[in-house]
Structure 1
Amino acid sequence: MKKKKKTGGAGRFWMMTAFVLTFISGIYAEQLGFLQFAMDNPEEIWMLFVEHIQLVLISSVISIAIGVPTGILLTRGFMRRYRDWILNILGICQTVPSLAVIAIAMTYLGIGKKTAIFALVIYGLLPIIRNSVAGLAGINPVFLDAGRGMGMTPAQMLFKVELPNAMYIILTGIRTSTVINVGTAAMSFLVGGGGLGDLIFSGIAMVDPGYMLAGAVPTAALAIFMNWFIGKMEGWIVSDGLVYEK
């Protein structure tokens, strides 16, 4: 059993560093007018923040519902032959700028939240599919042989052996996809999807740093929170009996 390293000194150092950086950032934000704008318009910021969260959560749930089953399918039967080909196509799609994806979606779906959500789903699929494939394809063959030796059916093998062992890698893909969508969702404003992009782009247009930061700061905070929260979920969901190099 590995001994835990003492991290008290390092922890205090990083805590003090974070405190100093927060203090400096607060002074800078006050000079730019962000704090004053936030105090004058809390309801507007909160409304757009809620819209932003809705866009991220809805698109992420749809991406997971499509991405994980697709990753499973690509590790099954004849679909293995097309796995690399499909992943390469998805990789090419991922290189297309998010603004272009939203513009293409708007051409067919018009403006509104459905266009923004569709674009976010498309943009968030690749990390989930790729990690699902990597997690399932990378399982130790010894585990699979043990499951077959116990007489498990293919469905039992999937849900009791493969998915639990691949879950950490799959959740890493979900975390990456969600954090990407938090930033990309700011573009939704351009197609009438709402969200914090309203403040960001309006602030840029008016050359008003306070207005712009009122959208950018909550967006950055949401991305950090989602990354932390899904990281915590990995610890809750993945069994302690499974060993990973985290």
Structure 2
Amino acid sequence: MSSVHPPVSVQLQALYGLPELKALTLGRTREEGQQAIDFFSSRGKASARVYVQSSEEWAVGVRMMFSTLMQFEVGITHHLFSHLTLRFPSEITTPQFHREMTLRVLNLKPNTDYIPVKDVDAAVSSASRHDPELLKHDFAWWTNTNSLDASIRSYVPSLQRLLQGWTANRKHFPIPEPSPTLTLNSTIGNINLLTGKEILSYMDTLDDLKESLDTQMNTTTAAMTHVWVELQRFQAISQSLEEDGQGLHPPLLDLEAPPEAVFFDSPLVIYTLLS
């Protein structure tokens, strides 16, 4: 493989020099940066899944070329992650697949021709909310094992075209909005690095957190009230049945939420919630 193509590290250096890739790491927001990492990690996972499912039937040369291209995908994601974590300390999350795959690529023994299937399988089996699996990718080189050699030679210009169309492509890859709690914890951890504008934004985040907590409390109270009403209904019907049906009558219900202790002292409530 090395006699036909330059080493992986040499080709990755050419990729890292692309101006479109630099723009993606320097000119985007934290959310857009996280989205880019999730997107490129999803490319790696899509290729790795094909490798796990089919590579044992391939010739050694096909496995070698496929492994090379998978390392390209891992390299791009890691390059993005390295730069963005410098810009946004403690605010960028590594997709679980990328974390596991990177560890296995780094631990490859020298002169290894291809990545062991069991190692790739372990990475593919990992999952987190940052590991979406898209049904369609541009430049999906892993769908045609007959043109892997050509994909290696054209990888840099193909990736460049992919990055040039990133603004349009990202519309199909929604940005996961960080929760107020996550934003709050991230800000506290880096408070000394914030500018005045960022501190004002942080204050807005506190307001968002309060609204989120209020909403959760209202939802919880409504659910507790519903359980309380249903509990009374159950007890009234149960008592009527114990009286051989002589006491059947519409139950009188207290529609107000009970004291919180009711929900911690009554085994029946616990059973109702679990069922």
TM value normalised by structure 1: 0.27
Tell which structure's C-alpha radius of gyration is larger: 2
Tell me which protein shows more helix as a share of its residues. 1
TM value normalised by structure 2: 0.25
